[in-house]
Structure 1
Amino acid sequence: MHTQQVEKNRAESVSVSASQAVSVPPSAFTLSYSDNGLAWLCIDVPNESMNTLQSVFAEQVSAVLAELAQRTDLQGMVVYSGKDDNFIAGADIHMLADCQSAEEAQALATKGQQLFAALEALPFHTVAAIHGPCLGGGLELALACHSRVCTEATITRLGLPEVQLGLLPGSGGTQRLPRLIGVAGALDMILTGKALRGKKARALGVVDECVPQSILLDVAAKRALTPKPTRHLSWSARAMGGNALGRSVVFDQAAKKTQAKTRGNYPATDAILTVIKTGLEQGMDKGLALEAKRFGELVMSPESAALRSIFFATTAMKKERGANDEPMAIQRIGVLGGGLMGGGISHVSAAKAGYQVQIKDISNDGILNAMAYHYGLLEKQRQRKILRNTQVQQQMLRLSGGTTYRGFEKVDVVIEAVFEDLTLKHQMVKEVEAHAKPETIFATNTSSLPIHQIAEVAARPDNVIGLHYFSPVEKMPLVEVIPHQGTSESTIATVVKLAKQQGKTPIVVGDSAGFYVNRILAPYMNEAAYLLLSGEPIEHLDNALLDFGFPVGPITLLDEVGIDIGAKIMPILVQELGERFQGPDVFDVLLNDGRKGRKSGKGFYRYAGQGRHKKADEKKQVDKRVYKLLGIRPERNVDGHTLAMRCTLMMLNEAARCLDEGVVQSARDGDVGAIFGIGFPPFLGGPFRYMDQLGVASVVAQLYQHADLYGERFLPCERLVAMAQAGQVFYPAEAESQ
């Protein structure tokens, strides 16, 4: 059957709801038929840009299945999307928030299982024709079909990302995927939640064919007219989990790897392992029953509630402009500085946002460094077959550079990424204003200097704004957008739009020293340093915060950021914000010994064999000479959780101050900023949700206790004291709904 015939079927199709009353909303599922015995099931959720599965669709799908059951002339069926750019992006997460109990959530999962089982039981060959995102419940629906065909398009992604929301696939995904591709591959997909491109999905056996979009429906139709397939695992899939011995090895390895990564903080991963293992050892019916039960329990868990809140927050932020004015049009980006930050900013501006980027540096070596950085990241994608050679060449052509400002008269936004020196940044402002258009925006990537100080020398201060990236730029998802008092609304809106195009989540924060992320990070790091000087071993401190849920420990983080960077930032924070930011005097001692952290090969840890000489199995080791250097006799005196809370309480207190002072505009922005910028444990939902979970009164009480023990720096801020006295929370609407 040809694609043109499908379009004809769409025009002539009869919705399964057509016979119902006019007041009933149109069905998202429409059946049509062709003369060669094929049924076509189009999925097109009315009035939505993306297809998502909703609980109200149960009756609509049941009606489709009932109609198909009456047909005796069908040879096959193609399931496809009526949207141009997506198959099914997953289930509508909002319906989970309506569940008042684990039993209600379990019932949702059971209903989905029953509908997909009925789809799988159809007597003719059903084929899912997939273009665009096919995620979560969308992939579970596709797995219930007998075959799958997807497109080669970049936007096509297949995955089961439920674990990222603290859940497991609840409509049969834990049972069908292992039987299709083997245990090892299924565990890797479900435990990580990663999405596969079309060709990778074909290689793993998730789909049967990966084809150009232009022939997707033709290929699916041809396949649907063949007999239903009988599935057999490949030899390699059988060896890696298709038999009892293989399964035992795979599950043991997966459990160890998962525990090392999650440290027991994400209950969904344990549930996934148990459910998949149960289904394979006791049969699919037992597996499905346990899948639904565990799904219901996880929906009601605080970890899933927190992770879903992050999803809702970031989804809402995608629709926000950050200001009341319209963003200006951008065609060309300028970047000052070809170092690590400049190279990363250039890369995301070209590769992600798709702009022509002109780099300015004081030397050709800086330009070549940025070019090489850009190429290195593209080459990794080429080696993974994400990009073709021609695409790498096209991406490289988007970057140009030089040691002069020639061509900057065409630049719309200049992003400055030079050294953290106010005099130098003043020079950059003056030079850009002398060589660029009057309307060109000057965005400074500073981590601590107040933006109004940088804008003091500007002839057009309304065009000056802070745009704080985090290292490495291509990986870290957050950008802080920092307007000063004179920044125009159009400038704010433009850089917010640019940050989103670069693949970032921007939050607009106040023009205060350290802004938000570094400001709440500084007292946390200081407290870790106080604990170190009290004799707590380096690895004990790092492990305590890893167990708490942070991605890296505070001592490792200081090595990664650079001890010299910390030495520059802390005095600025003390000068601008007060003595509570004064940490123990360790920076000068370490720097005098040549310890800048990883970049110098030694800090608190030693990093022998850097770069190409580093062995794959070589791990960093605590440099015990640091203890002698700082006059410390290391000995564990405090348990890990107590250490973690002592550091984290300082962060919570400073986050509340930031909200009170308007540094962050909302608790939501503060939570997203802490999670995406620092790696605050996502399963806790961010500093503000965590304080709601603990109870603000409990947080205040703990701060007072710590102040008695360790000093006035722990005294709770006025905002927290007032909230505790009034019994308030940071998310009152959610508290009322519970």
Structure 2
Amino acid sequence: MTQDVTTDNGAADSGAFTLTRQDNGVAILTMDVPNESMNTLKAEFGDEISAMLDEIEADPGIKGVVLASGKPSSFVAGADISMLAACETEADARALATGGQEVFDRIERMRPTFVAAIHGAALGGGLELALACHYRVCTDDQSTQLGLPEVQLGLLPGSGGTQRLPRLIGIQQAMKMMLTGSPARAKQAKKYGIVDDMVPQSVLMEVAETYALKGKPAREKPQRSLMNKALELTGPGKKMLFKKAREQTLSKTKGNYPAPGYIIDVIETGMNEGMQAGLRAEADAFGKLVMTPESYQLRQIFFATTQMKKENGVEGVAPQSVNKVGVLGGGLMGGGIAYVTATKAGKPVRIKDVRPEGIANAMKYSYDLLNKKVKKRFMRKTEMQKQMSLLTGSLDYNGFQDADIVVEAVFEDVDLKQRMVADIESHCHEGTIFASNTSSIPITQIAAKANRPEQVIGLHYFSPVDKMPLAEVIAHAETSDSTISTTVEFAKKQGKTPVVVKDGAGFYVNRILAPYMNEAANLILAGEPVDHIDKSLVKFGFPVGPVKLLDEVGIDVGTKIIPFLVDEFGERFTAPPAFDKVLADGRKGKKNKKGFYLYESKNPGKEVDDTIYALLGLTPSVSRSERDIAERCVLMMLNEAARCLDEGVIRSARDGDIGAIFGIGFPPFLGGPFRYMDTLGVSHVVERLRHYEQEVGEKFAPADVLIKMAENDQSFY
């Protein structure tokens, strides 16, 4: 197939778009946004793309158009979110959606056949653009993914996605993709029918051109089972389908997120009343959602994490290169750290454990996760083997001599960790960084006997490591700037969002979590039922309640940090005596199937173990509202977060918000502890703390910084 470009009328260039005519009747329309690493759709492109479409329409020699990206690793990553900040009213936001719909409608109605040639990410507006084309061809590359993630920003697809995707692949699959925001990999996209073909990258353009000369497709209805036909193609079936979707969504969101409800409504409108009615409903809903406080906060999280990805650990200090990694300890954390290092960072990992079973377990951790991907066809077996080959193990320090960073994930014992530091200093090269995954021991103590304390740092992951996005990077007084920057860069390569925090008991995340958990325990001792406390906090917006979280983490692990906190910060961190009784009864939580919840029942972890009340000498009864319980626990967390910022434990309110959301699931729609305090008003926070100080005790005394801020009418942002 010829790729010759006609040089006389040549390539028409219009900023982000270039039109290259070929002598085979196919024109290549390339999108390449200047000075950006990825393509994003911007409002100002409207006139530009319209002019291009005019030119295509006017040229009878163009029979087909291949829409491609000029970026080497992605198609179109979505719409530029920052343009939503300029919307002052619902009408402004609705106009943005309507503008996008009109351009994509025009592409769908064009005389030449349009084909989207997709390599890499086609997300949000990028997928909506592809859906407006007559055909879609994608590469079989690992990086290729297609999705509509708008719900994660508190929005819905606003340029026709809510209408085109269900018509293409069926209501249920489309709704699932929109409600979760999860993208489909290339193989899934082909299976669902989002793309017409999946090919190696080397022939993407050639195959796309073949489709461009085919003429427009007569789309068959999506492949449906008999059950799905009954649900999606009959009036009563559709009614039941949407009703069930609303019930399931409400049980997950607890009504805290408006976007999922609008997504269901808009799809239903389009499916019952037709495409045009659906598009009007979509634009209206988009306008409303852009102006909601939930979407505002979710967009701030997006901007914060994007900004953090671009930052070094220490400004102006470049990271050292990390070519090989050591991991000490083959337990759950060690296995998880080895996994993200090999699979995300792509670095060889040497795992050391004192027992062969420890190394075998760490290897199995990675094997099981990768094998699951192979079985689901997300990954080729050869790719799995390549990643597994990066993992090796040893019972001694053989193979550690060239490790640039060694992450320690052994038991929480100061002497043991100090011994590990000495071992690494004697077995590795002079520049090797020692990073401790401790959750409770101050890094200053771990580095106390080090010969090179400037190369000792904390790197605290959260469990399970393969899923939790946060890593705390903890510098003690002698940690060098180079060690900080290198560790931050290493954590980013592992797919983590790193937050740099100052050394001290509990660091940041566990320090703000402890008073919250303690307050939940105090409420149990006051007679509140365990499930009432957990449901109150889940309704508030946490993914799990505090008591359930303690069972999940391990009651023994969760309480280990308390003595360190009491030593450093005093009585306000004293845990209620309940914990001692619970531990003395052999209750460690989920891991030994004995905790606050039942794990040997039909629904493991769903029902409270009522014997806990007899153990604690209690007769449970609900005496406080869900709102009061949530307020009491959350205020303890907010107060401690304010102290952490004031003491320089975290560098900024932004870091504190991201740390709480990614580390402990603080409700994202509230924006994090500091944005939430701004929303409530700092004076209101102080007033409520003083209320509980009088009612409950002095542990609720507001932090000095909050009192000063309230007096001066200040906010965190």
Q: Pick the TM interval, shorter chain.
A: over 0.9
1:15 aligned to 2:15?
A: no
What letter matches 1:322 in structure 2? Answer: G
Shift of 1:11: 11
Instruction: Report the counterpart of residue 107 of structure 1 in structure 2.
Output: 95
- Identity, % of aligned pairs? 57
What are the Cα deviations for residues 558-594 of structure 1, in whole angstroms up to 9, with x where unaligned? Answer: 0011111123111111111111011211122111111
* SS across alignment from 2:304: helix
* SS across alignment from 2:656: helix
What are the Cα deviations for residues 126-184 of structure 1, in whole angstroms up to 9, with x where unaligned? Answer: 11111111011111111111111111011111000000000000001101111111100
Shift of 1:418: 0.6
Select the residue among 141, 147, 150 that pairs with 1:153: 141
In the aligned structure 2, how far is the partner of 1:600 from the partner of 1:305? 42
Select the residue among 629, 632, 642 that pairs with 2:628: 642
Instruction: Report the counterpart of residue 581 of structure 2 in structure 1.
Output: 589
Shift of 1:632: 1.1
Instruction: Report the counterpart of residue 274 of structure 1 in structure 2.
Output: 265
Q: Is the 8 A contact 2:119 2:201 kept in 1?
A: yes
1:427 aligned to 2:419?
A: yes
Instruction: Report the counterpart of residue 442 of structure 2 in structure 1.
Output: 450
In the aligned structure 2, how far is the partner of 1:240 from the partner of 1:484? 60
Q: Greater shift after overlay, 591-600 or 247-256?
A: 247-256
Shift of 1:328: 1.2
Instruction: Report the counterpart of residue 650 of structure 2 in structure 1.
Output: 664
Q: Is the 8 A contact 2:187 2:378 kept in 1?
A: no
Select the residue among 674, 678, 681 that pairs with 1:688: 674
Instruction: Report the counterpart of residue 201 of structure 1 in structure 2.
Output: 189
Shift of 1:227: 1.9
* SS across alignment from 1:603: coil
In the aligned structure 2, how far is the partner of 1:565 from the partner of 1:528? 17
What letter matches 2:232 in structure 1? Answer: G
Q: Greater shift after overlay, 105-114 or 30-39?
A: 30-39
In the aligned structure 2, how far is the partner of 1:243 from the partner of 1:156? 35
What are the Cα deviations for residues 516-537 of structure 1, in whole angstroms up to 9, with x where unaligned? Answer: 0000000000110111111111
Q: Greater shift after overlay, 247-256 or 626-635?
A: 247-256
Instruction: Report the counterpart of residue 385 of structure 2 in structure 1.
Output: 393
Instruction: Report the counterpart of residue 549 of structure 2 in structure 1.
Output: 557
Instruction: Report the counterpart of residue 322 of structure 1 in structure 2.
Output: 313
Q: Greater shift after overlay, 466-475 or 398-407?
A: 398-407
In the aligned structure 1, how far is the partner of 2:407 from the partner of 2:297? 34
What letter matches 2:288 in structure 1? Answer: E
Instruction: Report the counterpart of residue 467 of structure 1 in structure 2.
Output: 459
In the aligned structure 1, how far is the partner of 2:258 from the partner of 2:668? 13
Instruction: Report the counterpart of residue 713 of structure 1 in structure 2.
Output: 699
In the TM superposition, 1:432-443 aligns within 5 A as 432-443=424-435
Q: Is the 8 A contact 1:152 1:212 kept in 2?
A: yes
Q: Is the 8 A contact 1:183 1:242 kept in 2?
A: no
Instruction: Report the counterpart of residue 296 of structure 1 in structure 2.
Output: 287
In the aligned structure 1, how far is the partner of 2:334 from the partner of 2:10? 54
* SS across alignment from 2:73: coil
What are the Cα deviations for residues 443-488 of structure 1, in whole angstroms up to 9, with x where unaligned? Answer: 0111011111111110000000000011111111000000101001
In the aligned structure 1, how far is the partner of 2:9 from the partner of 2:564? 69
What letter matches 2:320 in structure 1? Answer: M
In the TM superposition, 1:43-62 aligns within 5 A as 43-62=31-50
In the aligned structure 2, how far is the partner of 1:227 from the partner of 1:716? 70
Select the residue among 661, 677, 700 that pairs with 2:663: 677
What letter matches 2:47 in structure 1? Answer: E
Q: Greater shift after overlay, 180-189 or 359-368?
A: 359-368
In the TM superposition, 1:328-407 aligns within 5 A as 328-407=320-399
What letter matches 1:14 in structure 2? Answer: A
1:622 aligned to 2:611?
A: no
What are the Cα deviations for residues 73-98 of structure 1, in whole angstroms up to 9, with x where unaligned? Answer: 33221111111111100000000011
In the aligned structure 1, how far is the partner of 2:240 from the partner of 2:375? 30
* SS across alignment from 2:561: helix
Instruction: Report the counterpart of residue 248 of structure 1 in structure 2.
Output: 239
Instruction: Report the counterpart of residue 182 of structure 1 in structure 2.
Output: 170
In the aligned structure 2, how far is the partner of 1:618 from the partner of 1:245? 36
In the aligned structure 2, how far is the partner of 1:9 from the partner of 1:541? 71
Specify whether residues 451 and 678 from structure 1 end up closer, same or farther in structure 2 by C-alpha distance, changes over 3 A only: same
What are the Cα deviations for residues 47-106 of structure 1, in whole angstroms up to 9, with x where unaligned? Answer: 211100001001001111211221233322111111111110000000001111111011
Select the residue among 15, 25, 30 that pairs with 1:37: 25
* SS across alignment from 2:71: coil
In the aligned structure 2, how far is the partner of 1:171 from the partner of 1:149? 20
1:164 aligned to 2:155?
A: no
Select the residue among 79, 95, 106 that pairs with 1:91: 79
Select the residue among 224, 228, 234 that pairs with 1:235: 224
Q: Is the 8 A contact 1:30 1:42 kept in 2?
A: yes
1:410 aligned to 2:410?
A: no
Q: Is the 8 A contact 1:183 1:247 kept in 2?
A: no
Q: Is the 8 A contact 2:11 2:21 kept in 1?
A: no
* SS across alignment from 2:674: helix
In the aligned structure 1, how far is the partner of 2:580 from the partner of 2:571? 18
In the aligned structure 2, how far is the partner of 1:220 from the partner of 1:9? 19
Length-normalised TM-score, structure 1: 0.95
What are the Cα deviations for residues 347-369 of structure 1, in whole angstroms up to 9, with x where unaligned? Answer: 11111111111111111111111
Instruction: Report the counterpart of residue 24 of structure 1 in structure 2.
Output: none
Q: Is the 8 A contact 1:16 1:60 kept in 2?
A: no
Instruction: Report the counterpart of residue 498 of structure 2 in structure 1.
Output: 506
Q: How many residues matched?
A: 713
What letter matches 2:28 in structure 1? Answer: W
Instruction: Report the counterpart of residue 479 of structure 1 in structure 2.
Output: 471
1:496 aligned to 2:488?
A: yes
Q: Greater shift after overlay, 182-191 or 28-37?
A: 28-37
Shift of 1:235: 3.3
In the aligned structure 1, how far is the partner of 2:85 from the partner of 2:229? 39
* SS across alignment from 2:18: strand
1:123 aligned to 2:114?
A: no
1:606 aligned to 2:598?
A: yes
What letter matches 1:320 in structure 2? Answer: E
What letter matches 1:196 in structure 2? Answer: A
Where do 5+ consecutive residues of structure 2 fail to align? Answer: none
In the aligned structure 1, how far is the partner of 2:667 from the partner of 2:430? 43
Length-normalised TM-score, structure 2: 0.98
What letter matches 1:416 in structure 2? Answer: E
In the aligned structure 1, how far is the partner of 2:556 from the partner of 2:9? 70
* SS across alignment from 2:74: coil
In the aligned structure 2, how far is the partner of 1:382 from the partner of 1:285? 41
Shift of 1:240: 4.4
Shift of 1:245: 3.2
Q: Is the 8 A contact 2:124 2:147 kept in 1?
A: yes
RMSD: 1.4
